[in-house]
Each structure stands twice: as structure tokens, then as C-alpha cells.
């Protein structure tokens, strides 16, 4: 498949379309969407104000982790793990989760 088609990606969630998203530059269209920019400005405003900094930081982290692991998990579910691309995505997500657990349980233990 040559280019990226958002409707096809949402319908299939396969690894080839995910790679086409990043290689074709179509991810910039998603980032320049008014809703994405509005949510980003809102989160930055929450982080900038001292009384709501914890809420803004927590919301930003949970949103990014949810999007990355949500899309990654669905793409892995619909792709053949025997290919190298989905396998590397699986390893990256697994190491990220392990690193988070090590960071929270061992390094931040009080």
C-alpha cells in the first residue's frame, strides 16, 4: 500500500498503515487539527498554572500513554507478529512498560 488513508487505518489498524502514516508525513495533519491543538493548549495551561500543575501533568502523561499503548495494542492485535516491524513494536511497548514499573516501584519507592 503506497499512501496513508485514515479511514482505511481506522478500519483495519494494521502495521503497514501505521508506518505509512509516519513515512508520508500525514501525522502532521493530525497534529494540526484544531481539537488536538486545543487540548494541547489546555494541558499546557494547566501545567503552567502552579495550583493545577499536578493535574495537568497527570492528564498529559495518561493521555499520551493511553494513545501510544492503545493504538500499539490494537495494531499488534491486527498484525502478524512474525514480521519484523510488529515484533519491534511489541518489544518497544513491552520494554516501555517494564521501564515504567521499575521506575515507579524501585526508584520512586519511599
pTM over 0.75? The answer is: no
Burial of 59 (0-12, 13-18, 19+ CB in 10 A): middle
End-to-end, the C-alpha distance of the chain in Å comes to 51
Is residue 12 within 8 Å of 31, Cβ to Cβ?
A: no
pLDDT tens-digit map of 56-107? 988 988 898 898 898 888 888 888 888 888 888 889 999 988 988 888 888 7
- Provide the 8-state DSSP code for 4: -
Q: Enumerate the domain spans of the chain.
A: 6-80
Distance between CA 58 and CA 83 in Å, rounded? 35
Instruction: Return the ∠ at Cα 66 (arms to 54 and 7), rounded to 5°.
Output: 135
Amino acid at each position: 500500500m503506497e499512501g496513508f488513508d485514515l479511514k482505511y487505518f481506522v478500519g483495519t489498524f494494521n502495521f503497514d498503515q501505521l508506518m505509512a502514516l509516519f513515512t508520508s508525513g500525514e501525522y502532521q495533519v493530525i497534529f494540526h487539527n484544531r481539537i488536538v491543538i486545543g487540548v494541547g493548549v489546555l494541558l499546557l495551561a494547566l501545567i503552567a498554572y502552579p495550583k493545577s500543575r499536578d493535574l495537568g501533568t497527570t492528564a498529559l502523561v495518561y493521555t499520551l500513554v493511553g494513545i501510544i499503548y492503545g493504538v500499539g495494542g490494537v495494531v499488534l492485535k491486527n498484525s502478524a507478529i512474525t514480521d519484523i516491524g510488529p515484533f519491534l513494536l511489541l518489544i518497544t511497548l513491552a520494554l516501555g512498560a517494564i521501564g515504567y514499573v521499575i521506575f515507579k516501584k524501585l526508584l520512586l519507592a519511599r
